[in-house]
Every structure is written in structure tokens, then in C-alpha cells.
Amino acid sequence: MTDPNSTLTPLDLETPEKPFLDANELVINMGPQHPATHGVLRVILRLDGEKVLGLECVIGYLHRGVEKIGEHRTYTMFNPYVDRMDYVAAVSNGLGYCETVEKLLNVEAPARAQHVRVILTELNRIASHQLWLGTHALDIGAITPLFYTFRDREEILKIYEKYCGARLTTHAFRIGGLQYETYTGFEKEVKNFLTFFRPKIDEYEELLTTNRIWVERTKNVGRISAQDCIALGVTGPVLRASGVKWDLRKAQPYANYKNFDFEIPIGENGDTYDRYLVRMAEMRQSVRIIEQAVNALPEGPIMAKVPKVMKPAAGEVYHSIEAPKGELGYFIVSDGSTQPYRVRVRPPSFVNLQALDKMCRGQLVADVIAVIGTLDIVLGEVDR
Amino acid sequence: MPDEIKSPSAPPPEGEPKPTADNPAVPGGVKATSSGSVQAEAKAPAEKSASDAAAVPAKAVAAATAAPPAAKPAAPPKAPVPTPVPWDSPIIAKLKGCYGSGIEPLTYAGQNYMVVDRSLIPEILQVLRNEEQFDYCVDITAVHYPTREKQFDVIWVLYSFARNERIRVKTQIVDGESLPSSVPIWVGANWLEREVFDMFGIKFDGHPDMKRILLPDGWKGHPLRKDYGILQQDNEWVQINLGIESGQ
């Protein structure tokens, strides 16, 4: 029995492009308070049913004006601020900043400092990838990896805590080298960690790599081609998973990475699954680098001769490093005074997030969550 | 342990670095900034004395790199001030052949960049992308020099995967002048240009979506300009949208 007064027409499932209640295209809002956006990312989705037609990111909720603060602090005082950008990879941020200022000052950190820097930075890469794996798997519905990765990440944080007293925003490096000599037993603890951690990577892989749910949720999801990555400026594991063998540690070696033997893992399809595999392989390579560095740790000073009041000569320098998320660059303009005239941070997360639209088009809403996870963004760095 | 840097828990009071024997505190040598007042400083890095500075500082730079700790901090006046020096390469020769004197290639601290005339920007970027394989636009940013006639430096950092080479293109524009958008050349320039607009108020013509990115849409002012104080905010926006008297 039909109501003759009803204005509703029955839903035509055969031709879904025909408007029904003019609701064919739906605009919905996701975030900024959403557990799967890894912070305060707001995404405006245009949907056709479950299918994503396009999306727009709204960012800036965590904007603290880091670049402006940099212009009002001395070179030394700004150093701890950079830890607060990508706070899960604070050590990498510090390395990039210190090396950039060292370039301006024309000094180089001593060999021992360089080695310790590499050890701590690679430990940080592992910690960052562990946090990524735990939260990414959690987003997709696997809770267990989170407990595994956080259990093991704790060991890295303990090393940091013993070395510099902080676990997250470490401020581990100083311009010109290191502030602290390594503590007694540092080398042994790092080696112990490597022995402890190697089988753990296999454990993570056992949970996920051939897990049918994981594979279904990640294979062919959020694909991006190498050309698109390059055009969008996407770097890091995302670029490598698309098949581009490019890593700044090899392409333009900084610190003393050229002394270490390691490979650049790459993927083929540029999908979420490949990005997962690339990051897993990267953790193994980091273990290799740390092992070489800790076995060849030279004796000697840990600090280059740098003036107490730093006044780099007027000039400008761009320097970038391979952070866990991609190319992290610093562009610093000096006017010869004690404070930078301008500090520009080129954050990998910010630029990589731009690819979200491209990667999500044609996918389902649930895949947007997977893609945000696989991009491995940290909103503290996106918004600065 | 070397006598460097105090831990961040005890920083020297801002604007007053401790005077040392070799680095006496110079009044006015540091910026007093904690007041939040408008800063108008007559400072602009000496950067364009390249053509007459010749190659001597380059050698000095190279020598200093070879033995960095040798330079004693006790004698800063002796160390020659490094200045940008010209560089040359097939790209430069080619670009110079096409565009003549509008390009000034310089190198500083081992990094190559070129200062390009504003009018040549669209062509140069296009040529670098299409013919010289600079296919990755790393960054776009700007620097504000309020005392200069051409107040803004706009900088493109470009990288070529094929050549494994990084280069910077720099141009100078006056306040209010716009630049052609490079989104048609590199899609990734989209957000970078939006950020430059947000922070400096420099518009990019032909950009598909020229609006603020980090600050709210209705915000007034561009915070990375030098005349925007560090504690300054858009009070009206804060009061209307956050319902508080001040964000400070």
C-alpha cells in the first residue's frame, strides 16, 4: 500500500547516479577531534555513498608559530623548540637543526659526536616506526601490535632517558656536537637492545604480514605512483614504497652516514601494504646501522669549538636530513646577529599530507583512515 | 666536557648573552624582543656583494672546512667573513645565454642559488623543471626585509632526482606584488604557496585555491612579517571566535 501524498520516490538501485533526495553527493566532516586522525586533523569528505569523490584537509589547529619564535630566540635557545614539531622523532629534528646551524657557523661535530648522533637518530627512527605501526594497526582494527610496539619502544626511551634525562622531547644534541658524554654502559645497552629487538621485528611481521584481514585492508589501498609522489613532493617511506630508490642518507649523505653500509628498501605498488613492508625493512636497516656505529664508536671529544655567543656570518643555508617521515629541511637566514633572521622548516608531514586527496579518491571511507595512518603524519609538525 | 651551552633549564636572559673575554656584549647587538612591540630593525644581510668579492673568500671557506676546530674563538676579526661567490655550470651558461643579466648565480657554504629578476621567474622555473630535470619542488618560502625597497625575498628550493642536485631560486618583490603560481609546474607547490600567502601576504596568481592554510580564514595580518610582533594577535578574531579577552 502506498501513500498517495508521499513525495518520496522509491530508491532506484539500478542507476545510482540518479539523484535521490539530492543526496547523491554527501559532504561529511571528519575530525578535528577524531581518534584516527592522529591529532587534530580535520578532513572534509565528499562522498558518493561510501566512495570518496574528493577531500580537503583543514589544518592549523596546532599552529604555534615555531618559525616566528625562532626569529626571537638565539640559535642555542631555539634548539629545544624543534623537538616539539615531530615529537615522536625529536632526535631527528634536533639533528637537522644542529647540522644546519653548524653549516652556517662552518664547524663540524667531532667523529665521536657524529657516531653517537647516528646511533640516537636511528634508534629514533625505529621508535617512530614502532609508534606508527602500533597506531596504524589500531586504526585498521588490530589492537595487539600496539601493545607489542609500545612494549619494545619503551626500551629505546629508557636509553634516551638514561642518556639525557628526557624520553620524548629529548634535546639530545647541541650545536657543534653533544652536551653529554655517553653514560657508562651505553654501548652495552644499545647492543643489548639490538639483540632484543631483532626477533621483535619478526614478531610484528608474524602478526601482520600474512594476516588476511591486514592484507585485505591494505593491499591496493591508497595507491600512489612514483610520478605523482615526485610531483607532489612526497618523500620518505611513501616515496620509496612507490619504487623510487631515494634516501637522503645515501643521496646527499649528512652526519657520517657515508661510513655505514645499509640498503634502501623499496616497494613496487605504492599501496598501503608496500609502505608497511618498506617501514618494516627500514627498521631492520636501522638496526644494521646502529650495530656498525656502536661497534666502531671512536674515542675523542664530543664538542667542536664553537663560540659561546653564536653569531654566524650573514648568509643563508638550506640543509635537510632524512627524518623518519621524509625530507626534513631547515632554511636559516643569518644576519650576523645572535638570533636567526629567519628560520624556515620544511616539514615532511605537511608536504606528504597534501597527497591524501590523491590517494583517497575512489576509495572507501574506511580506507581514508588507513591512508592517514600510512602517511605517518604528526600534526605537531604539519602545523608547527 | 667542553664548556659549551648550558642546559635549556637555565637559559641566559633573552637579549643579554653573557659577555665573554672574546665576545664582549655589544649594546644593540641583540634584539630586545620580549616586549612584543613592533620591531622595525634596520638589518638586512649583506648578500649581494658577490661580484666584487671575487674568489678569495671561497678559498678561505674551503680551508676552514678542512680544519674547523683550528679557528680559535679568541680571534674572530681575523677570520674572513664568508660571502657568496659566483658559480658556473652548464645550466647557468645556458640560462645566461637565453636571459642575460637577469640571473645572478651565487654559491654560499657550498650551496648554489640564483637570484633571478622577478620578470623572468615563470620562464626560469618552467625551464628548470622541463629542460633541466628539477622535478621536485622541495620548498617555497619567503623572507621579509622591511627596510628594503623590494621588501620580500621569495625562495624556491628545487631538487633534481636525475642529477642529485639541489638548487635555490630567489627573487625579490615589493610589498603587494604578486607572483605567478607554480602549481601548474609542480602540483606540490599548492600548500607551500598557501603557506607563504598565509604568513607573508604574498599572492600567487593562478593558484587554484589561494587562501590561508594554518591560520583561520578570517584572521587579519601575516605573522611572519617583521612588523608583526611575536605576541601580536588578531584580538577581534580571538574575542569573537574563542569568546575570551585575549589568547595571551
Q: Are A106 and B199 within 8 A, CB to CB?
A: no
Taking only the tens place, the pLDDT of each residue in A155-187 is: 999 999 999 888 888 888 989 889 888 888 898
Closest CA to A137 of A167, A129, A16: A129
Distance (Å) from the alpha carbon of A117 to chain B's nearest alpha carbon: 17
Taking only the tens place, the pLDDT of each residue in A28-51 is: 888 787 777 777 888 888 888 788
Q: Are B108 and A315 within 8 A, CB to CB?
A: yes
Pick left, alpha or beta for residue A273 (phi over 0 → left; psi -120 to 50 → alpha; otherwise beta).
alpha
Do A142 and A214 touch, CB atoms closer than 8 A?
A: yes
Interface test with B, best of A337, A339, A343 (most B CBs within 10 A): A337
Phi, psi of A156 (to 5 degrees): -70, -45
**pLDDT recorded at residue B120:** 86
Of B17, B108, B188, the CB nearest to A233: B188
Q: What is the largest CA-CA distance in chain B?
A: 60
Q: Are B199 and A67 within 8 A, CB to CB?
A: yes
B-chain CB neighbours of A232 within 8 Å are 187-188
Query: Which of the residues in chain B have pLDDT under 70?
Result: 1-80
Interface confidence, given as ipTM, is: 0.83
**pLDDT recorded at residue A304:** 87
Q: Say if B27 is an interface residue toward chain A (CB within 8 Å).
A: no
H/E element, A248:
helix A248-251
Q: What is the DSSP string of A61-80?
A: TT---HHHHHHTS-HHHHHH
How far apart, in Å, are the Cα atoms of B86 and each of A318, B34, B103, B114?
Answer: 18, 39, 11, 9
Closest CA to B68 of A177, A42, A174: A177
Between CA A243 and CA B123 the distance in angstroms is 31
Q: Are A65 and B223 within 8 A, CB to CB?
A: yes
Taking only the tens place, the pLDDT of each residue in A73-125 is: 999 999 999 998 888 889 999 999 999 999 988 898 999 999 999 999 999 99
Domain ranges of chain A: 4-58, 69-383
**pLDDT recorded at residue B200:** 92
Higher pLDDT, residue B7 or A275 = A275
Q: Are A344 and B64 within 8 A, CB to CB?
A: no
B-chain CB neighbours of A68 within 8 Å are 223-224, 228, 230
β-strand partners of A319: A330
Q: What is the CATH number of domain A69-383?
A: 1.10.645.10
Q: Which residues contact A6 (CB under 8 A, 6 or more apart)?
A: none
Q: Say if B14 is an interface residue toward chain A (CB within 8 Å).
A: yes
- Percent of chain A at pLDDT > 90 equals 46
Taking only the tens place, the pLDDT of each residue in A348-371 is: 999 999 999 888 888 888 889 889
pTM equals: 0.79
H/E element, B124:
helix B121-130
Between CA A163 and CA A185 the distance in angstroms is 10
**pLDDT recorded at residue A366:** 87
